[in-house]
């Protein structure tokens, strides 16, 4: 990858990743590699702090017209494409998906569409070309929905998996301060800041910290769990 190159690279403005154009089938190891290498490419480019656009090309990711051949495992590229642009403001990142269509005319058209995309400045995050049509993603409001009964209640009991981490602690503090609740925080090691624990309890909540490894299918590492 870029990090390993001995000579410093010049600033690159346009990077095109073709790897998701190759057939992947049900090779989940290869899909995992694609995911992590793409995330690493984003990190490496992001660390360079230079303006660049990363275009990830693929064949068979989006189900647009309902009849195109699909390769579901390739959808691993969509996460990094979305997150790279959010994490690194200097980087623009997008995914352009094509359908697997044979024939000289189709190939010629695909090359024209690709040239159009690469020459253009349109930064839609997710694009799919199907035949002569360019499809994009758009979010539209679905109208006002009636609010249901509040999910969080005074005196409720809540279990936060991974609750001893940064996000879990923030949610636990919100629950403890705004609701007098019973909160169960689980994590693999079950260690929790004693001062914060006292502060949550002082706000009127009962807080239990328990060990439970979510990746442990058999549940052998879960310590005794109270009813929630
Ligand atoms: N913090 C942010 O601003 C932010 C923003 C966006 C997304 N996120 C995502 O949100 C998630 C949580 O973020 P965080 O900042 O709270 O992370 P964190 O501080 O590292 O906390 C992770 C928590 O998960 C627990 N944990 C890890 N593996 C576990 C397992 N197999 N079973 C049970 N518990 C496990 C950890 O405790 P043990 O080590 O004891 O198991 C810890 O309590 C991460 O996926 C992160 O990428 C975070």
Distance (angstroms) between ligand 1 centre and the Cα of 208 equals 18
Ligand 1 atom showing the smallest separation from residue 212 Cα: 33
As given in the structure block, the two tokens for residue 4 are 């390993």
Confidence (pLDDT) at 107? 84
Q: What is the pTM of this model?
A: 0.63
Confidence (pLDDT) at 6? 44
Q: Do 24 and 60 touch, CB atoms closer than 8 A? A: no
Q: Do 96 and 127 touch, CB atoms closer than 8 A? A: yes
The domain limits of the chain are 13-136, 157-211
Distance (angstroms) between ligand 1 centre and the Cα of 162 equals 6
Mean pLDDT of each 10-residue bin along the chain, 228 residues long: 53 87 94 96 88 94 95 97 93 94 81 92 90 92 81 91 94 92 93 92 92 81 59
Residues in the ligand 1 pocket, defined by CB under 6 Å: 161-162, 164-168, 187-189, 213-215
Residue 18: φ, ψ to 5°: -100, 0
Distance (angstroms) between ligand 1 centre and the Cα of 174 equals 17
At 204 the three-state DSSP class reads coil
Q: Does domain 13-136 have CATH number 3.40.50.11460?
A: yes
Confidence (pLDDT) at 146? 79
CB burial readout 101-121, b (16+ within 10 A) else e: eeeeeeeebeeebbeebeeee
Confidence (pLDDT) at 150? 83
């Amino acid at each position: 990858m870029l990090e390993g190159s001995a000579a410093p690279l010049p600033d690159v403005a346009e990077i095109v990743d073709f790897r998701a154009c190759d057939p992947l089938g049900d090779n989940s190891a290869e899909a995992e590699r694609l995911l992590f290498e793409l995330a690493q490419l984003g990190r490496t480019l992001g660390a360079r702090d230079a303006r660049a656009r990363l275009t990830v090309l693929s064949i068979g990711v989006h189900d647009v017209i309902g009849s195109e051949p699909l390769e579901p495992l390739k959808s691993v590229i969509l996460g990094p494409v979305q997150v790279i642009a959010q994490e690194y403001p200097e980087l623009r990142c997008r995914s352009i998906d094509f359908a697997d269509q044979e024939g000289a005319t189709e190939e010629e058209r695909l090359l024209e569409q690709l040239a159009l995309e690469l020459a253009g400045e349109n930064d839609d995050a997710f694009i799919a070309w199907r035949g002569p049509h360019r499809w994009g993603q758009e979010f539209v409001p679905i109208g006002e929905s009636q609010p249901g009964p509040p999910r969080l209640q005074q005196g409720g009991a809540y279990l936060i998996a991974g609750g001893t981490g940064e996000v879990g602690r923030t949610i636990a503090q919100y629950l403890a301060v705004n609701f007098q609740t019973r909160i169960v925080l689980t994590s693999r090691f079950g260690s929790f800041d004693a001062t914060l624990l006292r502060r949550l309890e002082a706000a009127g909540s009962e807080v239990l910290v328990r060990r439970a490894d979510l990746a442990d299918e058999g549940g052998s590492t879960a310590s005794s769990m109270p009813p929630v």
